[in-house]
Amino acid sequence: MHYRTLGRTGIKVSPYGLGTLMFATQVGNPDPADSARIIHKAIDAGINLIDTADAYGDSEDVVGQALTGRRENVVLTTKVGNPRGTDPNRQGASRRWITTAVEDSLRRLRTDYIDVYQLHRPDPDTDIEETLSAMTDLVRAGKIRAFGTSTVPASDLVEAHWVAERRGLERPRTEQPPYSILNRGIERDVLPVAQKHGMGVLVWGPLGQGMLTGRVRRGQENPLARAKFFTAYGDERRLDAVEQLVPLAEEAGISMPHLAMAFAVTHPGVTSALLGARTMEHLDGLLAGLDVSLGDDVLDRIDEIVPPGTDIGTLDQAYVPPAIRTTGLRRRPVADRAIV
């Protein structure tokens, strides 16, 4: 395994990491012992990056139990920020919640430190200085080694680094955005900004929420259509792209998943791409593509199908900023609309 440096942290991580949303017993693999075997096999294969989140059901518990005796062999990342119940103060990026949530995650993960603690989504209601200050204290206390963000717009990343420098606070060292052949929007701004500021990038969704596995085809019954989290499979534009990518993969002599994963880690701004294996079969299939690399001819064809810096459709879990989500922020009051 050829390891890569995670931004400027000095931490070495594998090009493929193991995402653990599907190890939550409520939504993925119902057998924690089987999930543990999958985690162990990934580690034995050289994958040393394990990614989870406090909002992934009982995933942290499953991961913590599986890592008993093997904690020092992995770079463990988790997240904070998505709602934990209905209490409005058990979510977001306030100091109050971060300092509580990190202790909960440490307990569930059965560890005394987290390698990278990530903000799951931006929190427009909290001053970024408040968040950076809380994270800085956790770094200095040794509870976390570094912290990062997830699905944050490029402008927010720039602001965070500016505030950190101005106030003498720790900087966010990683970003975890969605990235796949079907969703290349981060090539336009997020990846260049991350590279400029020396951030490691851990991308999620490299298989396009299952659309790049080769199992979702036009005119065929969709085996993923009833998945709890993913509802965008009917997007005709995405299906059109898949129908062009399938013969490309066949011509290159590789499977669709291997094409998708190799693409995700080819960009120089991407440190690692997260595998979302739910079963041992899924993991074995993805591990078989660890040595796959794409030539310029294949990458040029991909650029023709999905132009660089563009997204085809919208991911179900994509972050929508208040400026777009809130109607009142896009429209002047009626009384002010008249042009005199």
Find the Cα–Cα–Cα–Cα dihedral 246, 47, 116, 143, rounded to 10°.
Answer: 160
Q: Which of 3, 16, 56, 319 is catalytic?
A: 56
Active site residue 117: no
Residues pairing with 156 in the sheet? none
97 and 80 Cβ atoms separated by less than 8 Å: yes
In degrees, rounded to 5, the angle at the alpha carbon of residue 202 between the alpha carbons of residues 317 and 276 is: 60
Which residues, at least 6 apart from 279, have a Cβ–Cβ distance to it below 8 Å?
29, 34, 38
What's the CA gap between 139 and 99, in Å, rounded?
12
What's the CA gap between 274 and 270, in Å, rounded?
11
**Would strands 174-176 and 200-203 be described as parallel, antiparallel, or unpaired?**
parallel
- Looking at the annotation, which residues are catalytic? 56
